[in-house]
Amino acid sequence: MTGDVGTWPHRHLLDVDSLSRAEIERLLDLAVELRAALTSAETAERLRSVVIGLAFYEASTRTRVSFEVAGRALGATVVDLDVVGSSVSKGESLLDTLRTLQRTGASLIVLRHPASGAPYLAARGVDAAIVNAGDGQHAHPTQALADALTLREAIGGPDGSLDGRKIAIVGDILHSRVARSNLHALLALGASVWLAGPPAYVRGFDAWPGVTVARLDEALDGADAVMTLRIQLERAAGGGVPSLAEYARVWGLTEERLALARPDAPVLHPGPTNEGVEISAELAASPRSLIGRQVENGVPVRMAVLSLLASAAHP
Amino acid sequence: MTGDVGTWPHRHLLDVDSLSRAEIERLLDLAVELRAALTSAETAERLRSVVIGLAFYEASTRTRVSFEVAGRALGATVVDLDVVGSSVSKGESLLDTLRTLQRTGASLIVLRHPASGAPYLAARGVDAAIVNAGDGQHAHPTQALADALTLREAIGGPDGSLDGRKIAIVGDILHSRVARSNLHALLALGASVWLAGPPAYVRGFDAWPGVTVARLDEALDGADAVMTLRIQLERAAGGGVPSLAEYARVWGLTEERLALARPDAPVLHPGPTNEGVEISAELAASPRSLIGRQVENGVPVRMAVLSLLASAAHP
Amino acid sequence: MTGDVGTWPHRHLLDVDSLSRAEIERLLDLAVELRAALTSAETAERLRSVVIGLAFYEASTRTRVSFEVAGRALGATVVDLDVVGSSVSKGESLLDTLRTLQRTGASLIVLRHPASGAPYLAARGVDAAIVNAGDGQHAHPTQALADALTLREAIGGPDGSLDGRKIAIVGDILHSRVARSNLHALLALGASVWLAGPPAYVRGFDAWPGVTVARLDEALDGADAVMTLRIQLERAAGGGVPSLAEYARVWGLTEERLALARPDAPVLHPGPTNEGVEISAELAASPRSLIGRQVENGVPVRMAVLSLLASAAHP
């Protein structure tokens, strides 16, 4: 049988930091298996009669659709609370809303919330398994796991490890839930991570073992892969960057700048990109770009997460 | 075969008042059967190739999700018109919109509308079966049936009847579609119902056979169960209640106040609650609270309603 | 096997003008087969494990729901980007959004967009098959194909052709994507089309072979069928029509005015109607009205379109 998930020791997926290296590898292995068996009858029965509730308190298209496709490919019933737009039931609290969703039958709840930590609150107050689909500036574990799978397949060793790989992350690390979860995942898989960005946005991260904060040229020098992050227009100024043009000039990734990295080192971006700002349009569209692959891997990684949590939720 | 629905004599479910006691009991019995067979292959085939259209002209999460889960558990295709938010097709009339939905294939239409009576208009103008999911201040039959099932299982006799039971309903009865439908259901099942609330909001209801309007202490005295209702913030004043704090002081249910009722008499609330106003947080979270159970029973009751109407709609 | 679709030579459906008469007939024949086998097990397996993405950049209920029902009846997974309402992911470009949708697994994308030509842009930039569900004032091919099926069954010859039939279209042709696509479909099927409407809104269309621009009485005279179009309230003035009342007086279809056409000539309208303006309420509700049939045929026609494109998309 493909993708025997056995038992999974975690009730929720709140961030990557709670996963061991072996667990991350098992999850990515399952994602690869599910990707290969995406349309098999067995896959379509895996979560039959499981109800997955989507509770997105922040607008999202790509993550929501990715979870919806993942859940349905597994045969689950996916219902969307449709919180954004329709006033959430008369000012009901988050916990009351999620408890109602659970009592309606949802054993897995995918939660996106603008408040960092909201999924932790949910996990303590609700019986359903909580999947963090992005909370404030804190964590975005399924994105990081999709990125980890993408990197493993692009630059990983024969066993899929990132041991000894140098990965540069460029931009506003401080406010990026994607970067924070990626740090956990990449370090767990053995990579060394170099950070470069406006000083106020990278400061202090070298306290993490395995992380180096450096100048951009140092971070890129000999890197096996480079990830750049979306810069929020409204935050550029706060980081001491007077304009997006200035940001692009100083921090924008281009083919030329990437010459410092290893030949053919791939480039990642969690999307959506500001082309011409943090990454040039040419580079984003070049064969070195893994941006499309990151999106594609989002579905099987989320299928793996949902499968594992369902196996844990119904022991 | 579980849940043989036979023929059902009603084309629509507009309110509980059109159902006989035997019909209500049959519907609740079917709900219990379906709840036990929620994930059976037979249940998942019951409404295969039936299209259920959701037309919610008022924001709702719990009722909409509950109908969606119920419909999908029966194997139906559930489509949401998504009326709220997206401007309803260019000012099209309710009947035109519902007719279009029906012509697109929906043989069952679940309608929530802010205008009392709108489902009756719909039922006269559309061939599809109409399920009233709440109309203005008039009726909310599936909520009342879920409440009836909850009460039957909590305080019902051996045959599931509420004969001889005293049930208190506290709050703004006048504007509550939930209370109005509950009156029909509880009286039909044999209960005697005592109402207490701001005088302007309970006046006249003792004209209903089986209903007593009383002071709060009288209503609670020896009650077998107590249901309290959400007080609309904007209506407190209209009922002669100067503030929510004052409402809570006079009408709010607490453990202490509930001491008047029978020992362990359960408490119900249709949700979402204003904790600390019509019900104390302690009481809402106590073992006496059936609030969660009311939500859970919403799904099988709606499955029963959809199954019965589908059997009537396709004779 | 019903509805063997063989190979279909078109990757996308952007408008009807790219289809030959034989292709239109094949598509309509398939729609008829699928309509007869709407709930068969074979139909429900036809697009199993195909993901269809709905990207509606303009509010729509009827077209969106029709595509959703059509896709699900074929067993596809239909996901809605839910663009309207929720701010489209942070100003992301159309192509980036659609590419993300495709990378999430969608091999068919149904696109409605306020900008004429947007689906052509999408077809050039995305690998998925694009179905135009209405673009600005340009085209609405699935509506036109549903209308063609409706007309073929109402007034077509034994072989289903419209050869020698006179069809009048009344109203604002210039701004109507429905009328434009209908012109292509009806002319391809052999009809002669007569246009009548406010002069600024019909001018120049007689340059199309088979099209005659005429006075209303000339257009209606002996017509085999009459289609009237929704007049946009805000455009009445621009066409030299001072008010809707004046529009109704001059161009509104009534039983009396229709006396000029052949006895029992049917009346069509793409909906939603402004009753009492472009069509009288009596006429819209009369047995001559095919308005309901147009909606009903929308589902099987869209099923045929999705089936054919899926067969082309996966050669």
Q: Using an 8 Å Cβ cutoff, are C277 and C3 in contact? A: no
Is C271 within 8 Å of chain B by CB?
Answer: yes
Is C59 within 8 Å of chain A by CB?
Answer: no
How near does any CA of chain A get to the CA of C65, in Å? 17
Which of A270-274, C33-37, C183-187 is predicted with the least confidence, judged by mean pLDDT? A270-274
Q: Say if residue C313's pLDDT is above 60.
A: no
> Would you mind telling me the total number of residues written for chain A in this entry?
315
Contact: B79, C68; criterion CB under 8 Å: yes
Q: Say if residue A83's pLDDT is above 90.
A: no
Is C92 within 8 Å of chain A by CB?
Answer: yes
Mean pLDDT (chain C) is 92
Distance CA B55, CA B81 (A): 5
pLDDT tens per residue across span B50-80: 999 999 999 888 899 999 999 999 999 999 9
State pTM to two decimals. 0.93
Q: Say if residue B39's pLDDT is above 70.
A: yes
pLDDT tens per residue across span B134-146: 999 999 999 999 9
Mean pLDDT of A109-114: 97
Q: Cβ neighbours of residue C173 under 8 Å, at least 6 residues apart?
A: C179, C180, C195, C197, C201, C202, C205, C229
Report the share of chain A in percent with pLDDT over 70: 93
Q: Name which of B65, B112, B297, B301 to mutate to probe chain A: the one with the most chain A Cβ atoms within 10 A of its Cβ.
A: B65
Q: Say if residue A241's pLDDT is above 90.
A: no
Mean pLDDT (chain A) is 92
pLDDT tens per residue across span C88-126: 545 678 999 999 999 999 999 999 999 999 999 999 999
Distance CA C55, CA A61 (A): 11
Q: Which residue of B has its CA nearest to C302?
A: B104
**Could you tell me the pLDDT band of residue A125, with boundaries at 50, 70 and 90?**
very high
**Which among A49, A83, A89 has the least Cβ separation from residue B62?**
A89
Q: What is residue B3's predicted lDDT score, i.e. its pLDDT? A: 45
Query: Chains touching chain A at 3 or more Cβ pairs under 8 angstroms?
Result: B, C
Q: pLDDT higher for A84 or B248?
A: B248
**Which among C44, C72, C272 has the least Cβ separation from residue B89?**
C272
Residues of A in contact with B71 (CB under 8 A): none
Cα B44-B46-B48 angle, rounded to 5 deg: 80
pLDDT tens per residue across span B83-125: 875 555 456 789 989 999 999 999 999 999 999 999 999 999 9
Is A91 within 8 Å of chain C by CB?
Answer: no
Q: Coil, strand, or helix at residue A310? A: helix
In angstroms, the Cα distances linking A264 to A196, A214, A225, A275 are: 20, 22, 9, 20
Q: Say if residue B315's pLDDT is above 50.
A: no
Q: Coil, strand, or helix at residue B287? A: coil
pLDDT tens per residue across span C196-255: 999 999 999 999 999 999 999 999 999 999 999 998 777 766 667 788 899 999 999 999
Is B58 within 8 Å of chain A by CB?
Answer: no
Give the domains, in start order, of chain A with CATH numbers: 16-139+297-313 (3.40.50.1370), 141-294 (3.40.50.1370)
Residue C86 burial (CB count, 10 A): 18
Query: Chains touching chain C at 3 or more Cβ pairs under 8 angstroms?
Result: A, B
Q: What is residue A88's predicted lDDT score, i.e. its pLDDT? A: 54
Residues of C in contact with A85 (CB under 8 A): 85-86
Q: Coil, strand, or helix at residue B241? A: coil
Long-range CB contact pairs, B246-250, < 8 A, 24+: B247/B198, B247/B277, B247/B278, B248/B276, B248/B277, B248/B278, B250/B216
φ/ψ region of C190 (left if φ > 0, alpha if ψ in -120 to 50, else beta) reads left
**Could you tell me the pLDDT band of residue C160, with boundaries at 50, 70 and 90?**
confident
Residues of A in contact with B272 (CB under 8 A): 89-90, 92, 96-97, 100
Q: Quick one: which of C180, C184, C185, C186 has its CA closest to C164?
A: C186
Residues of C in contact with B82 (CB under 8 A): 61, 64, 82
Q: Say if residue A213's pLDDT is above 70.
A: yes
Contact: A96, B62; criterion CB under 8 Å: no
Distance CA A230, CA A232 (A): 6
Residues of C in contact with A69 (CB under 8 A): 51, 77, 79, 104-106
Mean pLDDT (chain B) is 92
CB pairs under 8 A between A and C: 66
**Which among C89, C99, C105 has the least Cβ separation from residue A61?**
C89
Q: Quick one: which of A120, A223, A243 has its CA closest to A169?
A: A223
